[in-house]
């Protein structure tokens, strides 16, 4: 596309951005190699950005070199397209997302900003693991899905299946994907149904059988009429992106209606399903399979497509090709007819008959909701987590719900912008730095300046003021050098949910941990603060917006204003947002809830520069990598090593490539390893001679080491802490790992006020009650005290939650109420020390797993405690350090083990592959 054509298209995009009703935000989801990027290429070609013949070959949105070489998408990219239909013009913002499991975090960032999704399924491979994961992610975010059954050409050419077999195969795939949607729907409905009361013990009926709760009423009352993929409703496209064809049932009904003079409404209802055409009565009748008749979809659709593939790809019959082209009324030149590549001939025929871009864009504009149609449920899910009641938010925050629903672009509306990720962009390719063609006046001015410069060369050589010019040249060289040293800038990938954002606006930047309950109207925010200047309890900065962009794939186009409902790029936020954030005109706006990341980093390497003097460049590159990648973890170990943790080998290679580009230095990388876990086991009952150890304790010559508790004092000798470590039962560990979020809520409810407990939703309270009962039963079955669940003090750090601290301190023996008050004051320090201990164990600094630390005693000497003049430092830090050391020593007092990760995978193959093995 030429620069003038690109400018014209961008102006068209800017014009359509002001009407939220005609905007469609959609992402493309699929398993790896199912044809997402090829499909997006066809959509881009429909706008003239690339040639139709290059669709599927260019992979326009795969701008990275490693993406092109590997043939897979590694990052989500957005582009704005226009589509005109009979009912108006539409602006379709398409986001192409990766299908590889290593980059599933990128899928989460794309889903957050969209209202619908295009699910692409390879009909040969069927519904795969990432297809289900993507659908589940879209369901959590309440996106409206549409389906594209791709690569149907492979069934004709490679598998050589008959039209009837292809129909049955497509029917099975639809049943599989609809069955998975049914599972999601059922789980969601059952999760929302809460009985009025649950007894503490199971209730038995008169016959002695245990009663169960009847959840069927919830399913019967729920509407699932618009849930499933049904071709007759127009939410399914059959096609082949590589050959450029695709259609919905309504598309083919219009073609057949004109050819066979059958009402289009009748064909829309009967073209898919158990219907057949009675050749004698010329009527469409039901019961094709029971009467051994071919369905009408086979005879009128698949047979016609099969005839084209038979003539072009298999038999190469030029006469038949010419006959088909003539009957379809397609422009087919002699050059196309004599082309040696059958794939090009197929693309030329199909792209004119049923172009897939028209079918998909038409389906998206008709079914995917506009930003104005956002549901109340999704708004509440974006503003508040599912464990917290929405009405517990401040009144000013609750009123923002109406701004979400209105999606108004008025300047009076509250500005709400969601930033899902930050991505690097070449500074030289920014619109303001892009080279442009000179006008005639600029050429003449440059010519005059050149002539004046040539005339004054001799004068400048002898003039003393030349030194001043050399100074200015040095300044220019310094600026150029600075640009070369920082070739990349960070652009925020965002969406405006309410209001409009303009260049020059000053907005609040809210971090993910911002709490609107802790702000007030008198709060003042310094405009000079950045995220590097904030303390641990500060999460708000303020900045001025200067660079707004329209995302056009590999390019950005500058705009002065972006209205509600649009995707956009925002520059200049790298010092205000780390990975994700929220922009708003009010500090009462809540941060968008955390992204649902289905993958966690499991592969780890240590990075260092080959030249130690270049370490500052590596540290800067690691900061840029951490900011640009939503799934990578960057940390510095106690040994001083710089470590990155990735989700897989492909992700690791991409991160190393990015580090090399960010730092421009040579790097040394260690061998990748999968992290271990450290744990303890029960002491052995038999010794090396298979004799009972308990029997040997009767011998007075053998010491009794059964008491493995550890007792430590703080550095100032004012506090005594006593710990013991015990291995957790296996069933308890499984429950802890499966209910991470609920465990966090349980520990917070035990340590917070009644007001905090009232903010929790009834569904969460019910889930907590069920988990507590299951944990209590698991502890009792393992011969642990029944009150263990009530004594859970804290869980492990971050996601290592199969460890917990148990509060076994007998407070009834303490006579001094002041001691209890001080203990409560330093409780957070105590818990922090425990969490630091679970983060890195004593064996090899790996996280702990399946360990319970029991705090048996914690005393503080209040009479001699002087917090202001303590020479050993803050008392809170002493407690934290002592607890950390105490947990590690208690861990070392037990038999220790290392736990290695286990790799599990599911291999899907067809019948032919099974036959050869």
CB-based contact 893:725 (threshold 8 Å) = yes
Task: Indicate whether 462 belongs to any domain.
Answer: no
Cα dist from 814 to 300, 724, 788, 821, whole Å = 86, 21, 21, 12
Residue 470 pLDDT exceeds 60: no
Total of domains in the chain: 4
Are 518 and 492 members of one domain?
yes
- Determine, yes or no, domain membership for 220: no
* 597, part of any domain: no
Contact 603, 649 (CB under 8 A): yes
One domain for residues 357 and 380: no
Q: What is the pLDDT of residue 362?
A: 95
Question: How does pLDDT run across 204-224, given as a tens digit for each residue?
Answer: 555 555 555 454 556 666 777
User: Residues 358, 380: one domain?
Assistant: no
pLDDT of 811 reads 47
| Residue 14: band (very low, low, confident or very high) from pLDDT cuts 50, 70, 90 | confident
Distance of CA 605 to the CA centre of its chain: 23
Residue 896, SS3 per DSSP:
strand
Instruction: Label residue 732 by pLDDT band (50, 70, 90).
Output: confident
Residues 321 and 381 in one domain: no
Residues 328 and 403 in one domain: no
- Beta-strand runs (E) in 536-620: 540-544, 547-552, 555-559, 561-562, 567-571, 581-584, 603-609
Contact 124, 159 (CB under 8 A): yes
Nearest to 112 by CA among 95, 92, 100, 129: 95
Among 750, 553, 391, 549, smallest CA distance to 47 is for: 553
Digit-coded pLDDT (tens) for 483-496: 445 688 999 999 99
Query: What pLDDT is stored for residue 912 in this prediction?
Result: 65
CATH number at residue 274: 3.40.50.300
Q: Using DSSP bridges, classify how beta strands 88-96 and 23-30 pair: parallel, antiparallel or unpaired.
A: parallel
Question: What would the mean pLDDT of 879-899 be, rounded to a whole number?
Answer: 91
What's the Cα-to-Cα distance from 624 to each of 107, 608, 814, rounded to whole Å?
20, 16, 52
Q: What is the mean pLDDT of the chain?
A: 84
Q: Is residue 698 part of a domain?
A: no
CA nearest to 421, candidates 97, 28, 67: 97
| β-sheet bridge partners, residue 84 | 89
DSSP 415: P
CA 857 to chain CA centroid, nearest Å? 44
Average pLDDT over residues 849-859: 88
- What is the rounded end-to-end Cα distance, in angstroms, of the chain? 50
Handedness of CA 193, 199, 204, 206 (dihedral sign): negative
Choice among 117-131, 475-489, 615-629, 647-661 with the minimum mean pLDDT = 475-489
pLDDT of residue 480: 46
**Among 488, 527, 494, 533, residue whose Cα is nearest residue 508:** 527
**661 pLDDT higher than 50:** yes
CATH number, position 410: 2.40.30.10
Residues 735 and 835 both lie in one domain: yes
Ramachandran quadrant class, 674 (left: phi over 0; alpha: psi -120 to 50; beta: rest): beta
Mean pLDDT of 874-890: 90
- Please indicate, yes or no, whether residues 562 and 610 belong to a single structural domain of this protein: no
Tokens of 803: 């460890």
Classified as helix, coil or strand, 668 is strand
pLDDT at 472: 45
H or E element at residue 105: helix 104-112
Alpha carbon distance 739, 772 (integer Å): 11
Q: In 196-352, which ranges are E strands?
A: 236-240, 245-247, 275-278, 283-286
Q: What is the side-by-side order of every strand in the sheet holding 851-860?
A: 710-713, 719-727, 851-860, 804-807, 792-795
Ramachandran class of 251: left when φ > 0, alpha when ψ lies in -120 to 50, beta otherwise: alpha
Ramachandran quadrant class, 329 (left: phi over 0; alpha: psi -120 to 50; beta: rest): left
Opening angle at CA 436, ends 434 and 439, nearest 5: 155
Q: Which residue has the tokens 């060369």?
A: 457
**Does residue 393 share a domain with residue 360?**
no
Bigger pLDDT: 834 vs 194? 834
**Mean local confidence (pLDDT), 512-536:** 87
**For residue 624, what is the domain's CATH number?**
3.30.70.870
Closest by CA position to 345, among listed 309, 377, 319, 370: 309
Domain of 839 in residue numbering reads as 708-899
Instruction: Tell me the range of 541-555, 635-649, 851-865 where mean pLDDT is highest.
Output: 541-555
Of 659, 675, 691, which residue is a domain's last? 675
- Is there a single domain that holds both residue 359 and residue 491? no
Please tell me the distance from the alpha carbon of residue 878 to that of residue 75, in angstroms, as a whole number: 45
Asked whether residue 277 is assigned to any structural domain, the reply reads yes
Give the pLDDT band (50/70/90) at residue 172. very high
Q: Is the pLDDT of residue 580 over 90?
A: yes
Residue with structure tokens 């009703």? 21
pLDDT of 337 > 80? The answer is yes
pLDDT in tens, 771-817: 888 888 998 998 888 888 888 888 876 645 567 777 766 544 444 55
Confidence of residue 458 (pLDDT cuts 50, 70, 90): low
pLDDT at 463 over 80: no
Residue 252 inside a domain? The answer is: yes
Are β-strands 245-247 and 719-727 bridged in parallel, bridged antiparallel, or unpaired?
unpaired
| Choice among 679-683, 710-714, 752-756 with the minimum mean pLDDT | 752-756
**Pairs from 822-829 (Cβ < 8 Å, separation ≥ 24):** 822/860, 822/862, 822/865, 823/858, 823/860, 826/860, 826/875, 826/876, 826/879, 827/751, 828/876, 829/876, 829/877, 829/879, 829/880, 829/883
Question: Angle CA(564)–CA(565)–CA(566) in degrees, nearest 5?
Answer: 95
> What pLDDT does residue 482 have?
44
Residues composing the chain: 917
Confidence of residue 228 (pLDDT cuts 50, 70, 90): very high
How many angstroms separate the CA atoms of 34 and 123, rounded? 9
In a domain, 905, yes or no: no
User: Taking a C-beta distance cutoff of 8 angstroms, is the pair 721, 882 a contact?
Assistant: yes
CA angle (188 as vertex; 182, 194 as ends), nearest 5: 135
Question: How far is Cα 413 from Cα 349, in angstroms, rounded to an integer?
Answer: 50
Sorting pLDDT into bands at 50, 70 and 90, what band is 828?
confident
Please report whether residue 444 resides in a domain: no
Last residue of a domain, one of 584, 617, 636: 584
Helix pair angle (649-663, 615-628), 10° resolution: 130
Q: How many CB atoms lie within 10 A of CB 761?
A: 18
Do residues 124 and 169 touch, judged by C-beta distance below 8 A?
Answer: no
Secondary structure letter of residue 86 according to DSSP: T
Mean pLDDT over 440-466 rounds to 70
Measuring CA to CA, which residue among 554, 337, 522 is closest to residue 431? Answer: 554
Question: Do 386 and 325 sit in the same domain of this protein?
Answer: no
Per-residue DSSP letter, 866: -
- Tell me the C-alpha distance between 818 and 860, whole Å: 10
Residue 268 to residue 232: CA distance in whole angstroms: 6
Judge whether residue 176 has pLDDT over 60.
Answer: yes
Type and span of the H or E element at 679: strand 677-680
Structure tokens belonging to residue 525: 């925010």
Can you give the CATH number for the domain in which 745 is found?
Answer: 3.30.230.10
Determine the pLDDT at residue 756.
57
Q: What does 825-836 look like in DSSP terms, one character per residue? A: HTHHHHHHHHHH
> In angstroms, rounded to a whole number, what is the distance separating the alpha carbons of residues 884 and 887?
5
68 and 50 inside one domain: yes
733 and 862 both lie in a single domain: yes
- Entry pTM: 0.85
pLDDT score at 700 = 43
């Amino acid at each position: 596309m030429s620069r003038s054509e690109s400018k014209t298209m961008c102006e068209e995009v800017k014009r359509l951005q002001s009407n939220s009703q005609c905007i469609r935000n959609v992402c493309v989801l699929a398993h790896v190699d199912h044809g997402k990027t090829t499909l997006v290429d066809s959509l881009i070609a429909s706008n003239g950005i690339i040639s139709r013949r290059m669709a599927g070959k260019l992979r326009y949105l795969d701008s990275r070199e490693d993406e092109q070489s590997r043939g897979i998408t590694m990052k989500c990219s957005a582009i704005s397209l226009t589509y005109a239909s009979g009912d108006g013009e539409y602006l379709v913002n398409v986001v192409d997302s990766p299908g590889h499991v290593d980059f599933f975090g990128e899928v989460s960032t794309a889903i957050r900003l969209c209202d619908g999704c295009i699910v692409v399924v390879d009909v040969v491979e069927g519904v795969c693991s990432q297809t289900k994961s993507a659908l589940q992610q879209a369901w959590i975010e309440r996106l409206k899905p549409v389906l594209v059954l791709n690569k149907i050409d492979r069934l004709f050419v490679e598998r050589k299946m008959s039209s009837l077999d292809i129909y049955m195969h497509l029917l099975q795939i639809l049943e599989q994907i609809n069955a998975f949607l049914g599972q999601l729907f059922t789980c969601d409905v059952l999760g929302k149904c809460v009985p009025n009361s649950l007894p503490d013990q199971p209730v038995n009926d008169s016959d002695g059988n245990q009663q169960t709760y009847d959840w069927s009423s919830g399913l019967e009352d729920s509407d699932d009429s618009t849930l499933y993929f049904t071709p007759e409703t127009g939410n399914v496209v059959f096609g082949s992106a590589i050959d450029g064809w695709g259609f919905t049932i309504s598309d083919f009904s219009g073609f057949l209606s004109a050819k066979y003079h059958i009402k289009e409404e009748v064909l829309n209802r009967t073209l898919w399903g158990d219907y057949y055409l009675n050749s004698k009565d010329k009527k469409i009748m039901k019961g094709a399979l029971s009467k051994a008749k071919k369905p009408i979809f086979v005879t009128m659709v698949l047979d016609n497509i099969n005839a084209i593939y038979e003539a072009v790809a298999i038999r190469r019959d030029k006469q038949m090709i010419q006959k088909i082209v003539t009957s379809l009324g397609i422009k087919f030149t002699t050059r196309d007819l004599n082309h040696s590549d059958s794939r090009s001939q197929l693309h030329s025929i199909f792209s004119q008959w049923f172009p897939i871009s028209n079918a998909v864009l038409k389906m998206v504009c008709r079914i995917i909701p506009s930003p104005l149609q956002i549901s109340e449920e999704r708004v509440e899910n974006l503003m508040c987590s599912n464990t917290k009641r929405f009405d517990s938010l401040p009144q000013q925050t609750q009123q923002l719900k109406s701004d979400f629903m209105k999606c108004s672009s008025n300047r009076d509306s509250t500005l709400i912008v969601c930033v899902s990720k930050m991505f690097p962009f070449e500074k030289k390719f920014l619109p303001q730095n892009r080279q442009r063609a000179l006008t005639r006046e600029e050429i003449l001015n440059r010519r005059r300046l050149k002539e004046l410069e040539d005339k004054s060369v001799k004068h400048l050589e002898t003039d003393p003021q030349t030194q001043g010019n050399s100074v200015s040249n040095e300044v220019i060289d310094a600026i150029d050098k600075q640009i070369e040293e920082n070739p990349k800038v960070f652009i925020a990938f965002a969406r405006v949910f309410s209001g409009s954002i303009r260049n020059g606006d000053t907005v609040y930047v809210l971090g993910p941990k911002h709490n609107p309950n802790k702000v007030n109207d008198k709060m003042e925010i310094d405009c000079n603060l950045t995220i590097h200047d904030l303390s641990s309890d500060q999460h708000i900065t303020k900045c001025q917006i200067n660079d707004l962009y329209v995302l056009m794939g590999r390019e950005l186009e500058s705009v002065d204003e972006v209205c509600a409902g649009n995707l956009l790029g925002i520059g200049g936020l790298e010092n205000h947002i780390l990975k994700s954030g929220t922009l708003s005109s009010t500090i009462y706006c809540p941060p968008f809830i955390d992204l649902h990341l289905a993958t966690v980093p499991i592969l780890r390497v240590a990075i260092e520069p080959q030249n130690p003097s270049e370490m500052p460049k590596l540290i800067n590159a690691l900061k840029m990598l951490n900011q640009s990648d939503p799934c990578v973890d960057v940390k510095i170990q106690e040994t001083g090593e710089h470590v990155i943790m990735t989700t897989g080998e492909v992700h690791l290679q991409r991160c190393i490539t990015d580090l090399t580009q960010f730092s421009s230095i040579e790097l040394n990388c260690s061998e990748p390893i999968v992290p271990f876990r450290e744990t303890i086991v029960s002491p052995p009952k038999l010794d090396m001679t298979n004799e009972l150890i308990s029997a040997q304790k009767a011998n007075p010559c053998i010491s009794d080491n059964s008491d493995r508790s550890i007792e430590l004092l703080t550095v100032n000798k004012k506090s005594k802490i006593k710990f013991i470590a015990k291995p957790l039962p296996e069933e308890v560990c499984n429950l802890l790992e499966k209910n991470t979020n609920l465990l966090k809520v349980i520990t917070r409810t035990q340590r917070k006020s009644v007001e905090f407990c009232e903010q929790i939703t009834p569904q969460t309270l019910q889930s907590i009650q069920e988990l507590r009962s299951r944990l209590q039963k698991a502890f009792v079955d393992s011969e642990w005290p029944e009150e263990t669940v009530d004594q859970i003090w804290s869980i492990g750090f971050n996601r290592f939650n199969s460890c917990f601290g148990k509060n076994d301190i007998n407070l009834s023996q303490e006579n001094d109420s002041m001691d209890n008050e001080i203990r409560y004051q330093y409780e957070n320090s105590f818990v922090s020390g425990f969490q630091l201990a679970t983060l890195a164990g004593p064996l090899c600094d790996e996280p702990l797993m399946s360990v319970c630390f029991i705090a048996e005693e914690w005393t503080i000497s209040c009479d001699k405690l002087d917090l202001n003049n303590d020479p050993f430092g803050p008392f809170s830090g002493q407690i934290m350090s002592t607890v950390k050391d105490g947990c590690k020593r208690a861990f070392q007092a037990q038999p220790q083990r290392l736990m290695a990760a286990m790799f599990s995978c599911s291999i899907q193959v067809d019948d032919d592959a099974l036959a050869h093995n």
